[in-house]
């Protein structure tokens, strides 16, 4: 169980309604041991009830990240950046804890996460595929390569395959224009990729 220190009372907006946020000292994270679901429970006022499926050490990690930035609302982007590096993505549950720590509304955090394409609410696959769509790669057929990955994986850009193995994204020039079109699978770089070479690349990860 983790408790928080005192700050002033603030208002926050949730999807359901505008509610008054109790003093942080009144908010306690409680673990429901049967379901492993954590609740924010406002000890006295009972007005904040946000269920999050995060383990206690993950919640603590978010607290540590926010504390590194002095729990300042103005550091939200840095906090999100570091949280995404830590968790790989930013699910609603993580956003809610960040909102609480920085004393801002969950709607505000969600707005920032969805505004910047860098942030994602979808977990990446074990083998994230990034197709370079920079100018050199584009003129040498990156779009057709991308289409082939979409077809083979049956996912769109920004999505993850059902088995959680592959996710698909685009990025700008990776500095290997001489090898265009270029794709990355994790850290591994593949150059001069043609649409008919896509299947072989995916097959290389079949048994991994």
Which H or E run includes 52?
strand 51-52
Residue with smaller CB distance to ligand FES, 132 or 146: 132
Least Å distance between CB 130 and ligand FES?
A: 10
| Strand ranges across the sheet with 51-52 | 2-3, 27-32, 37-42, 51-52
Which residue, chain included where needed, has tokens 């074990």? 126
Residue with smaller CB distance to ligand FES, 86 or 135: 135
Angle of helix 76-87 versus helix 92-102 axis, rounded to 10? 140
Residue with smaller CB distance to ligand FES, 81 or 144: 144
Contact between 132 and ligand FES per CB under 6 A: yes
Within residues 177-206, the interface with ligand FES by CB under 6 A covers 177, 180, 182
Q: Look at residues 26, 23, 24, 53 and name the one whose alpha carbon lies nearest to residue 38.
A: 53
The region of 13-21, 33-41, 147-155, 176-184 touching ligand FES under the rule CB under 6 A is 176-184
Within residues 83-122, the interface with ligand FES by CB under 6 A covers none
Question: Site for ligand FES (CB under 6 A): which residue of 41, 92, 136, 185?
Answer: 136
Question: Site for ligand FES (CB under 6 A): which residue of 50, 77, 174, 189?
Answer: 174
Give the 3-state secondary structure of residue 67. Answer: helix
The number of CA neighbours under 13 Å toward the Cβ of 123 is: 10
* Distance separating alpha carbons of residues 140 and 62, to the nearest angstrom: 43
Residues near ligand FES, by CB under 6 A? 132, 134-137, 173-174, 176-177, 180, 182
């Amino acid at each position: 169980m983790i408790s928080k220190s005192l700050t002033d009372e603030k208002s926050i907006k949730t999807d359901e309604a505008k509610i008054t946020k109790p003093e942080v000292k009144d908010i306690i994270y409680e673990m429901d041991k049967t379901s492993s679901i954590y609740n924010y429970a406002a000890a006295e006022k009972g007005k904040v009830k946000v269920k999050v499926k995060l383990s206690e050490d993950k919640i603590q990690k978010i607290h540590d990240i926010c504390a590194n930035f002095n729990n300042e609302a103005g550091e939200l982007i840095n906090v999100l950046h570091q949280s995404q590096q830590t968790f790989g993505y930013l699910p609603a549950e993580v956003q809610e804890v960040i909102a609480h720590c920085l004393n801002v509304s969950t709607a505000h955090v969600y707005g920032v996460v969805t505004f910047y394409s860098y942030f994602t609410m979808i977990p990446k696959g074990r083998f994230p595929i990034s197709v370079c769509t920079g100018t050199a790669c584009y003129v040498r057929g990156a779009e057709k390569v991308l289409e082939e990955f979409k077809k083979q994986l049956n996912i769109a850009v920004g999505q993850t395959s059902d088995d959680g193995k592959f996710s698909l994204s685009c990025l700008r020039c990776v500095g290997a224009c001489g090898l265009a079109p270029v794709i990355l699978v994790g850290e591994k770089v593949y150059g001069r990729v043609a649409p008919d070479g896509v299947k072989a690349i995916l097959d290389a990860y079949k048994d991994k």
